[in-house]
Structure 1
Amino acid sequence: MRREAGTWSLFSLTWPIFIETLLYMVMGNADTLMLSQYSDHAVAAVGVANQIIALTIVLFNFVALATAVLVAQYLGARREQEAIDVSLVSLAANLLFGLLLSAVLAVFSRPILRLMGLPAELFDEGSGYLSIVGGFLFIQALMMTVGAILKSYGFTRDTMYVTIGMNVLNIIGNYFLIFGSFGLPPLGAEGAAISTAASRLIGFAVLVALLRKRTGISLSLRSFRALPLHHLRSLLKIGVPSAGEHLSYNTAQMVITYLITWLGAEALTIRVYTQNIMMFVFLFGIAVSQGTQILVGHFVGAGRYEEAYRRCLKSLYSAIAISVLLATVAYWFAEPLLSLFTDDRSMIELGRKLLLLTIILEPGRSFNLVIISSLRAAGDVQFPVYMGILSMWGVGVTVAYVFGIALGLGLVGIWLSFIADEWLRGLLMLWRWRSRIWMKKTVAPQAKMA
C-alpha cells in the first residue's frame, strides 16, 4: 500500500507540501485580513493569542515530529508493521496530551493573557479567541500526527487536498461570523475562532478516512487495545529534544513579543502584518525541509547515508536561492502588500524597512529549516537543541532588548536580533551536517540492521 522512496523526487513530495503549508498560512492570514476590516485591535489581540497557541502546539508537536522520523526510517528498512505500531502509539499519546493542554487554555485564557502583558483595550477579544481556538487544539494535535504519518508514506497530496477544503470552510465561516452576515450577530475575533475550530474538526474527520484508505491504519477502539508501548521510548528519544528546540524558539519569540508590547499597540500590529507577509517568503523553505526530511529518513532507514548527505545539501542550495528571490519580491511590492492590511502611512513605511531586512534574514532561516529537519530525520536531535538554546536566548533575545529597547531602534532592532540568531544557528547546523556525525545517530534499531 505504500509507495517506494526510490521512485520519489523532491519535487513530487514538496509541491503538495508547499500548497498545503501555503493554505495553512492563508487560513491564519484570512483571519488577520478579514479581522483587519473589522478592527485593528482585533488583529493585535489575535496576534498575541496566536503566540500562545503556537507555543502550545509545540508541546504536542514533538510526538508528530518523532512519528514522521520513525515511520520514515521503518518504511525505509521495509519494516511496515513497526511503522503501523509507532503510528498508533503516537496517535494515542497526542490525544491524551492534546486534551490536557486544550483544557488548560480553555480554562486559564484570561490569566495567561495577563502574564503576556496584553494591553487592556485588547483583552476581551484576545481572551475569547484563545479560549475557543485553544480549547479545540487537541484536534490540531491529532491532525498533525495523522498528517505526519501520511506524508511519511509519501501521500503528501492527500493532506494538501484536506487543507484546501479547510481553508474554503474557514473563509466562509469568517464571512458569516466575523461581520454578522445574513442576520447573524457580528462576533469579530470570537467569530474567527469558531470558524477556525469548526473547519479543523471537519478536516480531521476526512484525514482519518484517508489514513485508513492509504495505509490500512484504523482508529477503531480495537486498534488501541494492545498498544506496543515500547515504541513510546523511541518517540520520546526523538520528540523531547525536538520539542525542546521548538519550545525554546517559541518561548524566545514570546519574550520578544512581550518586549514589543513596550513599544505600544501600533508596533505590535505592524509586527503581525509584516510577519504575515514574511510567512509567504519562507514558505518554500518549510516545504523543502519537510520533503527533504521524508527522503532523508527513508535513506537513513535503508542505510543509504551518502544519498541522504547529498540530498540535504542540494535542498539547502535551492531553499536559499528561492528565499532570497521571494524576499526581494516582497520588499519590491511592500507598499501594496501592506496596504491590504492598513492605510496608516507610518505603519507602511516601517513595514517596508522590516521587509528590506528580511532579504538578509531569510537565507539564514533556510539553513535552519533544511538542515535541522535533515538532522532530525537521521536521529541527530540533541545538537540543534543545545545550539538553539544558546543562540535564541544568548543572541536573539539579548540583541532584541539591547537594540530594540535600550538603544531605541524599535522593531528594526528586533529584526536585527532575528538576523543574528538565524545566521549563527544556521552556520552551526551546516558544520554539523558536514561533519557526518549524524550517520551514527539512527534511532530505530531495526533500521540499522536492514
Structure 2
Amino acid sequence: MTKKAKTARNATLFALTWPIFIEILLHMLMGNADTLMLSQYSDDAVAAVGVSNQLLMVIIVMFGFIATGTSVLVAQHLGANQDEDAGRVATVSIIGNFIFGLFLSLLLFAAGPAILLMMGLPEELLKEATLYLQIVGGFSFIQSVLMTIGAVLRSHQFTKDVMYITIGMNILNVIGNYLFIFGPFGIPVLGVTGVAISTTISRTLGLIVIAFVLFYRLKGRLPFSFMRRSFPSYELKSLLKIGIPSAGEHLSYNGSQLVITFFIVMMGTEALTTKVYTQNIMMFILLFAIAIGQGTQIIIGHQVGAKKLDEAYERCIRSLKIAIAVSTSMAVIVYFSSRPLLSIFTNNEQIITAGATLLLLTIILEPGRAFNLVVINCLRAAGDVKFPVYLGILSMWGVSIPVAYFFGVHMGLGLVGVWIGFIADEWLRGLLMLWRWRQGHWREMSFVRRSKEDQLA
C-alpha cells in the first residue's frame, strides 16, 4: 500500500467534497451549455433535447446498478484494509459495466424513437429528439465505463483527478457546441445533431484520459488476469447485492419523472420548456447536497469497513445539517435572482413568470431533497440498501405522481401542481430516511463483514 493511499483514507469531508462539487458543477454546466446554446437556436430544440435527456437519465441509472455497488464495496474493503478484494471488485465492475453498456446502447438506439412516440411527444419535436437520442444514446456505453472508473477513483479518494478530467470534457463540449450551432469558419450548422456529436466526442476523449489515470493511480492493483481463470461470480454477486437495490431507488425516481413529463407534455410545449429551464437552474442548488452526500458516502464506507460505527453515525448527522443549511440559503438567493437567470435562456415573459413561481416553491422543496441526498447515501454506504428502494417506490408512485396529476392536471394548476407533488414526495421520504438512520439497523449490515462470513461458511 502506498503512502498516498494510506493518507488518503483520512481525508476530511471538505477535502473530498470540493472536487466532487466542482465535478458535478461542470457536468451540470455541460447540460446547461447545451440548453443555453440551443436556446439561441430554438425553444423547440431545447424541449426536444430535454425529453431525450429524460430517457438517457434512466439509462444512466441502469449503469448505476454496477457503478454504485462499486463505490460502496470498494470503500468498505479499503476501510477494512482489504486492498486485494477492492482491486478485484473494481476490475469486475469495469468489465461488467462495459458489456452492460453495449447492450443498453444497442437497445436504446433501436427502441428509443418508439419510446418517444409512446410519451406523446409533439410531432414538431420528434425528429430532433430522435436524432439526439440515437447519437448520444447509441454511444452511451462510453458513459457506463466513465461512471465506473470514476466510482473506483473516488472510492480510493482520488476525487481531484476525476474533477480535472471533467473540466477538460466540458471545455471540449462547449467548443464543439459553438462550432456546430453557430457555424463559424464555414462549418455547417447542425443544431441538435451537432450538440449530440459534441457530447459524444467529448465523452470519448474523457474516457481515454480517465482510463490512463486509472492505470497510473492503481498500478498493480487491478488484477484483470484473474478473470481469465474463472468467472468472477462472487464479486459480481456482491456488486449486484448493493448495486441493484441502490440503483432501483434512482430508477424508480427517473421512471416517475418520465410519467410526470408525460403530464407536462399534455400541458403544452411552453410548459415543457419552462420545466427544462427551471430545472436547469435548480440543479445549481441541488449540486451542494449531491456533493456533500457523495463525499459523506465515501467517508462512511471507509468508517463502516473499519467498524467505526459511532463516528459514521455522527458524520451523517453533521453532513445533513450542512446540506440543509446550504441548500435552503441557495434556494432563497436563486429565487430573488430568478428573473435575470431565466432571461439568460429566453425572452418569453410567460416562461419567465412561470419559472419564477416554481423557483419560489423550490425554497420549500430543496431542504426536503437534501434529506434524501445525504441520508440515502449514508444508508447505502453502510449496507442498508433495500429500505430506500421500498420507501422510494411507495412515495414516488404513491405520492409524487398522484399529487402532481391531481393538482397539476385535474385541478388545472399546471406546473405549480407538479411542484406540489415533488415537495410532498421529497419531505415524506426525507423524514422517514432520517428515522431509519436514527433507528440504527444499518449497524448490523456492513457488507464487508457479511461477505467474509459468507466466504467462511
- Same fold judged by TM-score > 0.5? yes
Corresponding position: 1:245 with 2:249: yes
Q: What is the aligned counterpart of 1:88 among 83, 87, 91?
A: 91
Q: What is the aligned counterpart of 2:408 among 404, 407, 430?
A: 404
- 1:198 maps to 201
- 2:310 maps to 306
Alignment RMSD: 1.4
Corresponding position: 1:49 with 2:47: no
Q: Which amino acid aligns with 2:370?
A: S
Q: CA deviation at 1:447?
A: 7.5
Structure-2-length-normalised TM-score = 0.96
- 2:347 maps to 343
- 1:375 maps to 379
Q: Distance in 1 between matches of 2:237 and 2:108?
A: 28
- 2:419 maps to 415
Corresponding position: 1:132 with 2:135: yes
Q: Which amino acid aligns with 2:99?
A: L
Specify every segment of 5 or more residues in structure 2 that has no aligned partner in the other structure, as ranges: none
Q: CA deviation at 1:98?
A: 0.4
Residues 143-222 of structure 1: pairs in structure 2 closer than 5 A: 143-216=146-219, 222=225
- 1:273 maps to 277
Q: Distance in 2 between matches of 1:192 and 1:224?
A: 38
- 2:331 maps to 327
Q: Distance in 2 between matches of 1:246 and 1:179?
A: 36
Q: CA deviation at 1:445?
A: 3.1
- 2:262 maps to 258
Aligned length: 449
Q: CA deviation at 1:248?
A: 0.5
Partner of 2:157, secondary structure, is: coil
Percent identical among aligned pairs is 59
Corresponding position: 1:289 with 2:288: no
The answer on whether the counterparts of 1:5 and 1:298 sit within 8 Å (CA) in structure 2 is no
The answer on whether the counterparts of 2:88 and 2:222 sit within 8 Å (CA) in structure 1 is no
Q: CA deviation at 1:224?
A: 4.4
The answer on whether the counterparts of 2:177 and 2:195 sit within 8 Å (CA) in structure 1 is yes
Residues 91-110 of structure 1: pairs in structure 2 closer than 5 A: 91-110=94-113
The answer on whether the counterparts of 2:78 and 2:305 sit within 8 Å (CA) in structure 1 is yes
Corresponding position: 1:18 with 2:21: yes
When residues 76 and 221 of structure 1 are mapped into structure 2, their CA distance, relative to the original with a 3 A threshold, is closer
When residues 128 and 355 of structure 1 are mapped into structure 2, their CA distance, relative to the original with a 3 A threshold, is same
- 2:392 maps to 388
Q: Distance in 1 between matches of 2:220 and 2:195?
A: 33
Q: Distance in 1 between matches of 2:265 and 2:59?
A: 21
When residues 241 and 220 of structure 1 are mapped into structure 2, their CA distance, relative to the original with a 3 A threshold, is closer
User: Please, which moves more after superposition, 5-14 or 420-429?
Assistant: 5-14
Partner of 2:447, secondary structure, is: coil
Partner of 2:233, secondary structure, is: coil
Corresponding position: 1:28 with 2:31: yes
The answer on whether the counterparts of 2:26 and 2:170 sit within 8 Å (CA) in structure 1 is yes
Q: CA deviation at 1:240?
A: 0.8
The answer on whether the counterparts of 1:51 and 1:254 sit within 8 Å (CA) in structure 2 is yes
The answer on whether the counterparts of 2:9 and 2:157 sit within 8 Å (CA) in structure 1 is no
Q: Distance in 1 between matches of 2:382 and 2:151?
A: 16
When residues 217 and 290 of structure 1 are mapped into structure 2, their CA distance, relative to the original with a 3 A threshold, is farther
The answer on whether the counterparts of 2:274 and 2:355 sit within 8 Å (CA) in structure 1 is yes
Q: What is the aligned counterpart of 1:74 among 68, 72, 77?
A: 77
When residues 221 and 77 of structure 1 are mapped into structure 2, their CA distance, relative to the original with a 3 A threshold, is closer
Q: Distance in 2 between matches of 1:300 and 1:145?
A: 22
Corresponding position: 1:8 with 2:11: yes
- 2:447 maps to 443
Q: Which amino acid aligns with 2:354?
A: L
Q: Which amino acid aligns with 1:263?
A: M
The answer on whether the counterparts of 2:364 and 2:423 sit within 8 Å (CA) in structure 1 is yes
Q: Distance in 2 between matches of 1:219 and 1:13?
A: 23
Q: CA deviation at 1:105?
A: 1.4
Q: Which amino acid aligns with 1:124?
A: K
Q: What is the aligned counterpart of 1:231 among 232, 235, 248?
A: 235
Q: Which amino acid aligns with 2:148?
A: T
CA displacement 1:147-183 (0-9 Å, x = unmatched): 0000000100000000000000000000111222221
Q: Distance in 2 between matches of 1:385 and 1:147?
A: 24
Q: Distance in 2 between matches of 1:7 and 1:444?
A: 19
When residues 400 and 74 of structure 1 are mapped into structure 2, their CA distance, relative to the original with a 3 A threshold, is same
Q: Distance in 2 between matches of 1:52 and 1:314?
A: 35
The answer on whether the counterparts of 2:368 and 2:427 sit within 8 Å (CA) in structure 1 is yes
Q: What is the aligned counterpart of 2:369 among 362, 365, 368?
A: 365
Structure-1-length-normalised TM-score = 0.97
